[in-house]
Amino acid sequence: MQKQETLNYAEQFKDATVSFSPFVQRSTGIVQSQTVLKVDTYDLICVPYQLTMSRAVLLASLSRDEIVFFQRFTNALAGLKLMVQAANAREPSKIFCRCMVTGVAAVKSRESVGILSCDFKPIPPDLASILGEHLMFVERLRAQASDFRDRAVAISPESSRHLGFNNYAVMTAGTEQHKLALFSLAVNRIDFLMPMRSPDIAVGTAVSFSLFFQRYRFSVSGTVRSATRLPTGIQRVAAVLDFSPELVDVMGDYFYSYGEKAREA
């Protein structure tokens, strides 16, 4: 049964890439800090950067000389050990992956960081199930995003406490960053105030928001929908947001927990 389920996941999500973030760590239970790649007689402490149903891309602290040294093991067999802490388990479990090293290189603009690519031979059933269940969870969140569309919550001390929002948000527009005061938040839009001395922001500007919650710190892209300069000089701005699984997860828990008590803006 598990083999058939694994084959289904491996086929259904063969083109999907899971890029690691606090959200992915929480969803999969994979403990990034306890990942080891055994190459020949060497144990490399790594962290997962991306995983697919056929490949692992890992980051490791390596000097330039070490990167050159390990490049000699390209196309060599290796063993990848992952630790998984399931939410309902008291102790972490281990997953061992047989793989082939397909690339070792330096990360551009990051000194002493190497990136290693490994192809699974093949992916272990347990790992395929973990990735498949995570990707199914993301699809459920995408469906919930449609259900919660335009259901905004007014940001107040009470709602921030229930949301786990740390009352800290930053918008990046081009090379400039601005600290924001959130007015209301939905899975697909955000309303906020900008400081008095902030430059006028044009409708249609592509922006990125960094939102700080107790559960996650994450970024989400968006587009400015409206911007109005208030008599006080403060700028009130509304923007539409792209899909963010982290935001839908947080907002969904809030709506399910507080339902009718949720204040809408």
* DSSP, res 234: P
Which residues of the chain carry a pLDDT beneath 50?
A: 1, 263-265
Same domain flag for 132 and 13: yes
Of residues 108, 139, 136, 131, the one with CA closest to residue 56? 131
Q: Are 76 and 39 in contact (CB under 8 A)?
A: yes
Same domain flag for 8 and 122: yes
The last residue of one of the domains, among 116, 131, 146, is: 146
Question: In whole angstroms, what separates CA 232 from the centre of its chain?
Answer: 37
232 by DSSP, 3-state: which? Answer: coil
Same domain flag for 16 and 111: yes
Q: pLDDT tens, 17-41?
A: 999 999 999 999 999 889 999 999 9
Identify the bridge partners of residue 172 per DSSP, sorted by sequence position: 177, 208
Q: pLDDT tens, 208-247?
A: 999 999 999 999 999 999 999 998 889 999 999 999 999 9
Q: What is the pLDDT of residue 1?
A: 40
For the chain, how big is the Rg over CA atoms in Å? 22
Same domain flag for 224 and 160: yes
Same domain flag for 105 and 164: no
Q: What is the pLDDT of residue 15?
A: 92
Same domain flag for 130 and 196: no
Same domain flag for 211 and 230: yes
C-alpha pair distances (Å), 167 with each of 113, 144, 157, 219, 254: 33, 24, 9, 15, 16
Distance of alpha carbon 160 from alpha carbon 263, whole angstroms? 11
Distance of alpha carbon 234 from alpha carbon 52, whole angstroms? 46
Confidence (pTM): 0.88
Same domain flag for 129 and 99: yes
Same domain flag for 129 and 181: no
Same domain flag for 94 and 32: yes
Residue-range definition of the domain harbouring residue 85: 2-146
Q: Where are the alpha helices (DSSP H) in the chain?
A: 2-12, 22-28, 64-70, 125-147, 157-163, 245-258
Distance of alpha carbon 28 from alpha carbon 51, whole angstroms? 11
The last residue of one of the domains, among 130, 146, 162, is: 146
Q: What is the pLDDT of residue 198?
A: 86
Same domain flag for 183 and 226: yes
User: At 219, which CATH number?
Assistant: 2.40.10.220
Q: Which amino acid is at 153?
A: V
Same domain flag for 160 and 140: no
Residue 139, CB-side half-sphere exposure with 13 Å CA sphere: 9
Q: Total structural domains in the chain? A: 2
The last residue of one of the domains, among 104, 122, 146, is: 146
